[in-house]
Amino acid sequence: MQQSKPPIIGSSIHENCQYVGPYRLEKTLGKGQTGLVKLGIHCVTGKKVAIKIINREKLSESVLIKVEREIAIMKLIDHPHVLGLSDVYENKKYLYLILEHVSGGELFDYLVKKGRLTPKEARRFFRQIISALDFCHSHSICHRDLKPENLLLDEKNNIKIADFGMASLQPTGLMLETSCGSPHYACPEVIR
């Protein structure tokens, strides 16, 4: 992982600008179980990214191991329908994951707002999801928490699978045995 100084806090025209590497931190995009996600703007190119900020001190050792596994798995995946991880910065207190910025929000919110999808749009989303999952599975990666909240949409309404926090590498020929994922989406036999 790339070493970085702590976020630079300085004064300029903007009061108290914070930086992670070459990225200026902007508004908060969301908050997850392991950290805060902020918009980052590259100081030279102006490119937008999402920066997931994880406070190591607030996480247990077992959760930190999961975060490191998530980073390792995301570095293995390069697919147009999987949220890209471009870089990782760290210091003693924080991990900073530099992620692809997608502006369309969660598929969940899109479905709530729109209601029913047309068969054509549903097929398009389904093809993109299956394409990304097939790629992951061909590289022995199992997501294990696929749900509409973890399917993001880019500016062209293309699917981006996100949140590999529960993902696992599955050795060939072996079955995963840990029950995980979101209870609201679990099948009845898993809940039983």
Structural domains of the chain sorted by starting position, each given as residue range(s) with its CATH number in brackets: 19-100 (3.30.200.20), 107-183 (1.10.510.10)
- The maximal CA–CA distance of the chain, rounded, in angstroms, is 58
pLDDT tens readout for residues 32-83: 778 899 999 999 999 999 999 999 999 999 889 889 989 999 998 999 999 9
Active-site pick, 87, 145, 154, 163: 145
Question: In the chain, which residue ranges form alpha helices assigned H by DSSP?
Answer: 61-76, 107-114, 119-138, 188-191
pLDDT tens readout for residues 73-127: 999 899 999 999 999 999 999 999 999 999 999 999 999 999 999 999 999 999 9
Q: Is 145 one of the annotated active-site residues of the chain?
A: yes
Q: Does residue 18 contact residue 8 with C-beta atoms inside 8 Å?
A: yes
Q: How many CB atoms sit inside 10 A of residue 115's CB? A: 6
